[in-house]
Amino acid sequence: MTIKLPKQTLVIGGAASGKSVFAENLVMRCNQPRSYIATAQAFDAEMVAKITKHKTQRGTKWDTYEEPTAPWMALDTIRTTHVVLLDCATFWLSNILLGDQDLIAAKDKLFAGLKEFGGATVIVTNEVGQGVVPDNKLARDFRQQQGELNQQLAAASDLVVLVTAGLPLALKGHLPQ
């Protein structure tokens, strides 16, 4: 069954919650050309394996763009007939912070790119605020920045879906049938 997505969808959940698989399936159900903007970088064997697994799961029917810090550049080149999956905002934020880039300027470009893109986008992000308080300043700062980014993404999205144990719950808007 073919579905129509709103302009912007946010899929949020904890680590290994099933959010990426849910988001991929949502995009595939649109029965439109699809593009994947990857923000993860493989700095070790574990990430190489994880990225390879995700690519294999997606198959060959996706145009893939690797943009760890500038997903808006990919959005500028993707046709608006495509549904775009940005996976994920958490890696993007990590890349910006660890790269010592201007977070405010990067957020402005990200939100402008998402707003200007004429097609539908699905953004995956991690919920990081439901665990213990981190024991170091860097982790606490990251948690704070991720929480703020998630709130901003949710406010700008037409549909917000929480995924836990592979099960979706619409927090804003309605799940497509």
Any idea which residues carry the catalytic annotation? 54
> Which amino acid type is present at position 2?
T
Contacts of residue 49, Cβ cutoff 8 Å, sequence gap at least 6: none
DSSP letters for 85-113: EEE-HHHHHHHHHHTT--HHHHHHHHHHH
Between CA 58 and CA 77 the distance in angstroms is 21
> What one-letter code names the amino acid at 62?
W
Q: How many CA atoms lie within 13 A of 66 on its CB side?
A: 5
Task: Report whether 21 contacts 168 (CB < 8 A).
Answer: no
Report whether 122 contacts 7 (CB < 8 A).
no
**Neighbouring residues of 36: CB distance < 8 A, sequence distance ≥ 6:** 58, 62, 63, 64, 65, 84, 85, 87
